[in-house]
Structure 1
Amino acid sequence: MSTTNVYEQVQERYAEGAQQRQEALCCPVDYDQSLLKALPQEIIDKDYGCGDPSRYVRAGDRVLDLGSGGGKICYMAAQLVGEQGSVTGVDMTDDMLALARKYQEPMAQTLGGDRVSFKKGYIQDLALDVAAMETYLAAQPVSNAQDVQRLSTWQETQRRESPLIADETMTLVISNCVLNLVAEADRRRMISEIYRVLTPGGRVAISDIVADEPVPEALKNDPALWSGCISGAFHEGAFLDAFVEAGFVGVAYDKWDAEPWQVVAGIEFRSVTLIATKPETAEDYDGGHAVLYKGPYAQVQDEKGRIYPRGQRMAVSRCTYGTLMNSGHANDFIGFAPHETQNRGGFCKPAGATRSAAETKGTVQTSSSSGGGC
């Protein structure tokens, strides 16, 4: 299918899903029932996900939900971010946006504050304000090549001066069974956009469908299979690689369904949740931090080539510490951080340097994701 046909098919199918529940799009998910209690039943019934990325939301997060649909995950996340956080949903389908916004006011009353917003946009082009573009086109329809050029100029100006989602404004990007719906030609840009809008140290939690074999063209050209979250599925290895290539660290599968959701032409399609972190970019220094790899392997190596032998308190810079303890690596390490911020100057220790037990006594020890970083 052409890129245009992909989006037409997806919009048509999910517009229908906003009007009437589509059982073929439903993948069994064990959501947190305590969060669902506050949601209108219509939003629950007309949700089409394959995982629960809301489980990765923390208090104070600024969350972006890609392909937010009827708003289910947004309203779940809003209960977790608290008064200091916010949730933004982006979707391209008018009917889904209407469903999500239908309950925005009563949900704000339930939550004790209006911390959820929904925007019309394309997740592969998060700077483009589609609603603003439609207003422009209503006033200045495109009927010739000159009009096309004017529209292109307007789009570039809008992206630059008033992007739908600005650079480095989100601390967590989530999505639930949507990335597979994006045309293959747009996927590199889509993941680059996720990287752009995240703050340094920001996290990704993407629930989606992957395939255990490359999907053949015959299946990709089937509109029903593509819009049904099947034939557009990433290959299980390529999905991870795409985030690594975009510059993310700590890229891992945190959830993997043992049983496939569907098997088509002998190919297994299953639900996974991918997590990743955008590296810190602030000035790095020696803050007296250390990490200890718990095992079970003799040693592990991170994306930068740093090696962590099992059971050794390895000296790391403040940024490396933040990245390790705020990513998919966190549960594999014990972190040692000084009680008070220290700056011992540039981190100049040689590869393989350790910190002694004496040097790390009395530090704050952490054995799971702790947030923070540079």
Structure 2
Amino acid sequence: MLDIVGDDGSQESVKEYYGSVLSSKNDLQTSACCTSESMPQYLRPLLRAVHDEVQEKFYGCGSPLPLGISGLRVLDLGCGTGRDCYLLSQLVGEHGSVIGVDMTPQQLEVATKYLDYHRKAFGYQSSNVEFHEGYIEDLSAVGIADNSVDLVVSNCVLNLSPRKQAVFGEIFRVLKPGGQLYFSDVFADRR
């Protein structure tokens, strides 16, 4: 199995892998983060509006993006190039908002490069998506306040954190009462 989390538990090797080693899906050294399952029908037309470069550099393993979220404030943990953020942008509509957090500057560079492209493609007056560089274990460092989001999503990222308890603590902290978590990830069965 490919080990991209450093021996000391640091995330520097993860940043290096996703920031410098990978330039497209074809560079992945494992198939764990790519599913052969087809995307849900309701997302397919939305995906057509997402820029090709954003899609080509997507490394998720599922589609943890629910329907019925119009007007909500959504947080995407480990957003990468923003593919899911741009899908969520369409699902929440112009009056909702999406925050993407990722620790990899190279991934965020691609995500932010297409903010205006997607705003125009979706017909919005202003973008409802924002991206922040930071760690999912410390969302307060990027300004995510207590009880401030309705929905947290994550796609093939939680497994990469050496501090999962901190991640789930942050998710609990930022979710509004009644808020929800949707995630897709890989795991190892130790039985």
The bucket for the TM-score relative to the shorter chain is: 0.7 to 0.9
The structure that has the greater radius of gyration is: 1
Given candidates 21, 24, 36, the residue that maps to 1:20 is 24
What is the distance in 2 between the residues matched to 1:198 and 1:46?
28
User: Percent identity among equivalent residues?
Assistant: 43
Q: Distance in 2 between matches of 1:117 and 1:19?
A: 23
Secondary structure of residue in 2 paired with 1:118: strand
Say which is worse superposed, 53-62 or 23-32, in terms of deviation. Answer: 23-32
- Rate the CA distance shift 1:17–1:36 in 2: closer, same or farther, 3 A: farther
Deviation at 1:44, TM superposition (A): 1.0
**Within 2, Cα distance between the matches of 1:117 and 1:128?**
15
Matched residue of 1:211: which SS?
coil
**Which of the residues 55, 59, 63 maps onto 1:52?**
63
194, 198, 201: which one aligns with 2:178: 201
CA contact (8 A) 1:172 1:198 kept: yes
Name whichever structure is richer in strand by fraction: 1
Bigger Cα displacement from structure 2, 52-61 vs 197-206: 52-61
If asked which structure has higher relative contact order (CA below 8 Å, sep 6+), I would say 2
What is residue 9 of structure 1 aligned with on the other side?
A: 13
What's the secondary structure of 2:75's corresponding residue? strand
Q: Which amino acid in the other structure matches residue 70 of structure 1? A: T
Report deviation, 1:19: 2.8
State the partner residue of 1:128. 141
Structure 1 position 210, deviation (Å) = 1.9
- Runs of at least 5 residues in structure 2 that lack an aligned partner in the other structure: 1-6
**Residue in structure 1 matched with residue 165 of structure 2 by the alignment:** 188
Maintained 8 Å contact 2:67/2:91: no
Structure 1 Cα separation of the partners of residues 68 and 12 of structure 2: 32
Measure, in 2, the Cα distance between the counterparts of 1:44 and 1:29.
16
TM-aligned CA distance change 1:37 to 1:171, over 3 Å: same
Indicate the residue corresponding to 2:110 in structure 1. Answer: 99
**Hey, what does 2:149 align to over in structure 1?**
170
Classify 1:34/1:201 alpha carbon distance in 2 versus 1 (closer, same or farther; 3 Å): same
* Structure 1 residues 1-374: aligned runs within 5 Å: 1-4=7-10, 7-16=11-20, 19-21=23-25, 22-23=27-28, 24=30, 25-31=33-39, 32-56=43-67, 58-113=69-124, 114-129=127-142, 164-183=143-162, 186-213=163-190
Deviation at 1:56, TM superposition (A): 4.8
**CA, structure 1 residues 51+188, in 2 after alignment: closer, same or farther (shift >3 Å)?**
same
Q: Retained in 2: the 8 A contact 1:29–1:52? A: no
Q: Distance in 2 between matches of 1:35 and 1:10?
A: 29
Post-superposition Cα deviations, 1:299-351, rounded to whole Å, max 9, x if no partner, equal xxxxxxxxxxxxxxxxxxxxxxxxxxxxxxxxxxxxxxxxxxxxxxxxxxxxx
Q: What is the CA RMSD across the aligned residues, in angstroms?
A: 1.5
Q: CA deviation at 1:84?
A: 1.7
CA deviation profile, 1:168-199 (whole Å, cap 9, x unmatched): 1100000000000000xx21111010000000
Q: 1:29 to 1:41 in 2, by over 3 A?
A: farther
After TM superposition, where is structure 1 displaced by more than 3 Å over at least 4 residues in a row? none
For 1:206 and 1:88, how far apart are their aligned partners in 2? 15
